Amino acid sequence: MNEMPYKTYLSENELPRAWYNVRADMSEKPAPMLNPKTLKPVTTEELEKVFCRECVKQELDDTTRYIEIPGKVRDFYRMYRPSPLIRAYFLERALGTPAKIFYKFEGNNTSGSHKLNSAIAQAYYAKEEGLEGVTTETGAGQWGTALSMASAFFGLKCSVFMVKCSYEQKPFRREVMRTYGADVTPSPSMETEVGRRINAEHPGTTGSLGCAISEAVEAAVSRPGTKYLLGSVLNQVCLHQSIIGLETSAALKKLGVEPDVIIGCAGGGSNLAGLIAPFMGERLRGGNACRFVAVEPSSCPSLTRGRYAYDYCDTGKVCPLQKMYTLGSGFMPSASHAGGLRYHGMSSTLSALLDQGYIEAMSVSQTEIFEAATLFARTEGTLPAPESAHAIKAAISEALRCKREGRSENIVFGLTGTGYFDMFAYGRYNDGKMEDYIPTDEEIAKGLAGLPNM
């Protein structure tokens, strides 16, 4: 069957030596972050109170195209990278499509997702700065796990605030983090001021990423030698994730394949931003006509039903404001199983690219994504994370469109992780008990009414 290999691996020597910063090629830059109190662009000094110095530098740099990957980070990458680019022959056959489908698999490490790519970089910079510890939030648990692994590697103390519904649904995630030495607190907790306030305002809440971020920031600022690290949304995270796209681009070149459409799921936007980065760069420089598709859950539809506006990045309103597609920082998503996509906002870079017409966005419902995930597992073998299944669902739709139109397009999508810790959700689906929850227009309007007045 194979005119092309099933898997395309790069050698360790072909591992990229620099990350690519797509903002350097944007003629219209994303709007600057604002200080939540003064509403003026945040300064380096202000950001350094919360974030590591080098990360702040990367966050604010929208002109340097390539940023060297430090040797120690590259050494860690060697343990699990380059990740394979896989031709989905068996899925293609099941769909009867003339399209060629490729996926970049990021679940080949114990944390089970792409998040390790940024966790190891951020932990490295924290260690270089001489910090003792780091704090963070985690939704579904993948970021917390990744940061626990990275912290253990560099000998940093790691405190994770885990969104309560995941904490309860995924006890094994919690234990993986504890095994790597992290302490894990369900959020909203009673350990921080903002956690106590959110608990009082929303009794019985199962939490959200926005709450957990506020708690982790408060904990970082109140503990000496400790800073806060974030697993998505920020420019620095998108930068680190560009390793996914750079490897994908190199592998496709080996195969002589030009992508027609590149698809990724979008929570905070980092994996998609990273996957498309070099292709988008080419596009921005006038080089290709590739389509870029962001797929989000219909239960938390910031790109498709949100507003492009300045908003708080966290429920407690302590982080800088970003201009982004948002549902409002007070938006509490339903207890959707794709925990990693339950964030009210979106990377400012991806938001700007969507606003400028370079990206398309679509939303899919939970039952649709589990149907796609099941087909994928049964044909391609890998059990996908529900988050990743959003991209699978969209790739299948594109492949079926190609079938109807008799076109042999090249479809590339990001398979961000594995679903071993999502068996509770798979169980609901297998029992026929999974429900779709789509917010009403009133609920969306209520979230948007909380946007800052400016």
Ligand X SMILES: *Cc1c(COP(=O)(O)O)cnc(C)c1O
Residue numbers at the binding site for ligand X (CB under 6 A)? 113, 115, 140, 142-143, 232, 265-271, 340-341, 385, 387-388, 416-417
From residue 309, how far is each of 5, 51, 121, 200, 237 by CA, in Å?
45, 24, 30, 28, 21
Write down the least CB distance from residue 49 to ligand X, Å.
24
Place of tokens 């496709």: 252
Residue 341 or 425: the one with the smaller Cβ distance to ligand X is 341
Residue 234 or 411: the one with the smaller Cβ distance to ligand X is 234
Given a contact cutoff of 8 angstroms between Cβ atoms, the answer to whether 123 and 156 are in contact is: yes
Write down the least CB distance from residue 447 to ligand X, Å.
19
Of 241, 267, 325, 305, residue with least CA distance to 31: 325
Write down the least CB distance from residue 417 to ligand X, Å.
3
* Cβ-Cβ contacts under 8 Å for 287 (sequence gap 6 or more): none
Instruction: Give the DSSP H/E element, type plus range, for residue 189.
Output: none
What residues does 262 pair with on adjacent strands? 292, 412
∠ CA 361-363-59, nearest 5°, is 50
Residue 402 or 414: the one with the smaller Cβ distance to ligand X is 414
Write down the least CB distance from residue 113 to ligand X, Å.
4
Position of minimal CB gap to ligand X:
417
Residue 316 or 340: the one with the smaller Cβ distance to ligand X is 340
- Let me know how long the chain is: 454
Residue 205 CA neighbour count, 13 Å, CB half: 26
Write down the least CB distance from residue 190 to ligand X, Å.
26
Residue 105 or 153: the one with the smaller Cβ distance to ligand X is 105
What residues does 133 pair with on adjacent strands? 157, 226
* Cβ-Cβ contacts under 8 Å for 243 (sequence gap 6 or more): 16, 19, 69, 77, 81, 117, 274
Residue 150 or 402: the one with the smaller Cβ distance to ligand X is 150
Write down the least CB distance from residue 243 to ligand X, Å.
13
Place of tokens 């339903």: 334
Write down the least CB distance from residue 105 to ligand X, Å.
11
Residue 260 or 387: the one with the smaller Cβ distance to ligand X is 387
Instruction: Quickly list DSSP for 128-182.
Output: HTT-SEEEEEESSSHHHHHHHHHHHHHT-EEEEEEEHHHHHH-HHHHHHHHHTT-
Write down the least CB distance from residue 71 to ligand X, Å.
26
Of 107, 128, 23, residue with least CA distance to 66: 23
Give Cα 15 distance to the centre of its chain: 21
Residue 263 or 402: the one with the smaller Cβ distance to ligand X is 263
